[in-house]
Amino acid sequence: MADTKVDLFLDQLVNAPLKDDRALMEFPFFSLQKRPRTQPFIYDDGAVKIEITPGAKGIATIWDKDILIYLASLLNERIEQGKPVEHTIRFPAYDFLKATGRGTGKRAYELLLDALYRLRSTNIVTTIEAGGQVDRRGFGWIETWRVVEKTDGRGRKIMAAVEVTLNDWMFRSIVKDRNVLTINREYFTLTKGLERRLYELARKHVGHQPDWLISMARLAQKCGTADTLRKFKLRLNQIIEAESLPDYHLELIRDPASEEMQELARDGYKRQSSSERILVRFFPKNTASRSTADATSRNSKGDGRPIGYPPRGKRQKTKDSASSRNR
């Protein structure tokens, strides 16, 4: 391709909102660690089963997912503008790196290539519906990818554009289901994989509601963590202390006789261990005050609920615990 044509027909984000796919936010499709996760992973909650098999460079990571968020945002922006959309998208590598808060040096481009490789080589089998269809076959996150290079003024080959073809499942979810949510750009500043995963779940389940409650054990499952529950609890406390999530707080509730646990029991949820007596509460930063991570404090009514917690009867229940109407 001639140098003068490299930048033609490239899609790029300027000030468009960044979009994430709801199904990708709900289930643990991606590794939360930067070192290669080379063991197959299976998630099965009784309703949805996901089997993930790594490629030679390991399972695609939650940082690799930035490419999918970027592509979903490009597709959504074209749909909003009434433009046609296709499975194959070409975009400037530099624009992707800037939009997702990455550097633009040589190492950043090398990491981009590694991410494309993992997204292509990771194999997923799932029963989740998309566009009214259920995939029970293996697929990679992207069908194909290629890099378009050009020669700069000093005769060096540089990455000018990246071309990616999305798989049918991802494309249907974005284009036909319109199954996307706007995310905070500060998401890309989160350096820990668990922080990113917790933000995804908070964004999907809390929306504009007072809160979302889930047992710690169930949360660990939905995060897809490789940690023990004890280690997972430690990491949660560190994130709570740092208050690092954009838009949301979280806290641990340790009252095994609380109304929340009674509500879970009424919903048919059975405790299997003492760790499941711990609930994790997510709530918006701008609508509720945060109690300390270790609080079992009683409010002025002495009813065992954390300080700043919404009054009884104001929350809605979901199968995961409390409330998850999507916004």
* pLDDT tens, residue by residue, 51-65: 999 999 999 999 999
pLDDT band with cut points at 50, 70 and 90 for residue 237: very high
pLDDT value of residue 220:
95
Q: List, in sequence order, every residue forming a beta bridge with 147; answer none if it has no partner.
A: 162
pLDDT value of residue 30:
94
* 3-class DSSP state of 181: strand
Q: CA-CA distances (angstroms) from residue 223 to 154, 194, 217?
A: 47, 7, 10
Contacts of 272 (CB under 8 A, 6+ apart): 217
Closest CA to 50 of 179, 64, 59, 227: 59
Enter the DSSP assignment of 292. P
- The first and second tokens of residue 114, run together, are 């590694």
Q: Could you report the per-residue pLDDT of 175-225, keeping only the tens digit for each?
A: 887 878 889 999 999 999 999 999 999 999 997 788 999 999 999 999 999
Distance CA 172, CA 177 (A): 7
- pLDDT tops 50 at residue 80: yes
pLDDT value of residue 180:
84
Count the neighbouring beta carbons within 10 Å of the beta carbon of residue 81: 8
* 3-class DSSP state of 287: coil
